[in-house]
Amino acid sequence: MMSAATATNLPLVGMPWLSDRMAKAGIKSLDELQLRSGINKGTLSKYFRHLQSPSVAVIPALCSALGVSPEDLLTGLGVIRS
C-alpha cells in the first residue's frame, strides 16, 4: 500500500493536472479554455480523459492558453513520463 506522502509526490496527470493548470492560469472553465485555445471543449475533455491524443497542430495553442511548455503539457496528458 502506498503511503500518503508517496501518493502526494506523484505528478498530476489527466483531469487533475488540467484543473490545477487552469487554476494557475486563472481559467475557470473548459468554455474559457476553449476561448483561449481555439480548441473545442469536447475535444479538450477527450484529451484529458485519455480518449484522444492532441495533434501536433494544437499543442502550441494549448500550451499558450495554459502557460506551459510542450513537455509539461505532454506529461500532464500522460503521453510522456517525467
Question: Could you give all domains of the chain from N- to C-terminal order, each with its CATH number?
Answer: 14-76 (1.10.260.40)
Model pLDDT, residue 5: 40
Asked whether the whole model's pTM tops 0.85, one would answer no
Model pLDDT, residue 9: 59
* One-letter amino acid of 71: E
Model pLDDT, residue 4: 43
Q: How far apart are CA 23 and CA 20, in angstroms?
A: 5
Q: At CA 53, angle to CA 41 and CA 17, rounded to 5?
A: 65
Q: How far apart are CA 66 and CA 48, in angstroms?
A: 13
Cell numbers representing residue 77 in the block: 496528458
Model pLDDT, residue 10: 61
